[in-house]
Amino acid sequence: MHQSTRILKNNWIKKYNVKEVFLNTSLQSQTINYLKNQSYIDYKGINKILRINYNKYYPTAYVVETKNKIVGFVGTLFSKRKINNKNYLYCNIHTWVVDQSHRVASHLLFIPLLKKKCIITVLSPQNRLIKTFKKMGFKTIQMNYKIIFSNIFFSFFYKNSFQIEKKFSKIKLKLTNHDLKICKDHYNTSFIKFIILNKRNKSDFTLVIAKIVRKKKYFNVLNILYASNIHFLQKNWNSINIEIFKVYKVFFCGQYFIKKKECIFSKKSNLSINFKRTICVKNLPKNFMFNTIYSEAI
């Protein structure tokens, strides 16, 4: 870039100011009003995400202002996570919108975030923005989404060997400190939390964090976001999925995963459909067991 052009751009950028947005502040109210006026985004969907806050000590968003007017927004979901016995700061980006006349300042929204050197994931990037994320040092990987039909027609032959427990007072007695924290962090009522136990051996169980995505009348999907014991689900899925249907009345279950070994569903099932999506990640630890907790639960 020519020096005179660089000076001009720097002077232009000085007109902008990036601010952190926290819950229950006047800036949050201004941010909500800004988002309401964006005709090309799904405000209702974003507003539901804004109600989720995994860690109150970190901002729910960054906004860029000029002349005390918001002209850009990045939605953030921060959390503290233990991965491979190490503590990490984790951030999921769910929305990035900047007024067309101010897109020269788009990258400024990411400067304070990148300085934190945390794990960053973007699970639903627009295709036209993927190159921009790559320029900021993000890597792209393929995320799988599998939906499977519950084989409820075989429930007549099903031996009721498993039990679903939904009461938190009983759930917490069986959890490690790590899983208890995950359970508490997902306090928002949009998340479903339960444990599945083997009735014959109640030390054999898994915690599940899930969310029901409501589509058409008979096409509600229970998305499994996290399982503390993936092997337990993989080994017993053909029986467990019937128990899930009985309790939650859903015909379909879904899961997002990266590697095949992370998929909880039976490999032999033909009643399934698979999708792929490119996601952007930065500073992702090696041997990370992928899941979609602490995200917007897409």
Task: Please tell me the distance from the alpha carbon of residue 258 to that of residue 139, in angstroms, as a whole number.
Answer: 14
Q: Which two tokens stand for residue 28?
A: 């949050």
Q: What is the structure's pLDDT at 11?
A: 61
Task: Please tell me the distance from the alpha carbon of residue 250 to that of residue 242, in angstroms, as a whole number.
Answer: 10
- Give exposure, 207-244, as e/b (b: 16+ Cβ within 10 Å): bbbbbebeeeeeeebbbbbbbbbbebbbebbebbbbbb
> What confidence tens digit (pLDDT) does each residue in 182-218 have?
999 999 988 999 999 999 898 899 999 999 987 766 6
> What confidence tens digit (pLDDT) does each residue in 74-118 have?
999 999 999 988 999 999 999 999 999 998 889 999 999 999 999
Tens-level pLDDT at each residue, the chain (298 residues): 444 345 445 566 678 999 999 999 999 999 999 999 998 888 888 888 988 889 999 999 999 999 999 999 999 999 999 998 899 999 999 999 999 999 888 999 999 999 999 999 999 999 999 999 999 999 999 999 999 987 666 555 567 789 999 999 999 999 999 999 999 999 998 899 999 999 989 889 999 999 998 776 668 899 999 999 999 999 999 889 889 988 998 989 999 999 999 999 876 666 888 999 999 999 999 888 999 999 987 5
Task: Please tell me the distance from the alpha carbon of residue 60 to that of residue 75, in angstroms, as a whole number.
Answer: 6
- Smallest CA-to-CA distance from 30 within 70, 71, 61, 73 is with 70
Measuring CA to CA, how many Å separate 128 from each of 125, 132, 133, 142, 181? 8, 8, 10, 16, 37
Interacting residues of 151 by C-beta distance below 8 A, sequence separation 6+: 238, 241, 242, 269, 271
Contact yes or no for 292/146 (Cβ under 8 A): no
Which residue shows structure tokens 């051996």? 201
Q: What is the structure's pLDDT at 21?
A: 96
DSSP H or E run through 10: helix 3-13
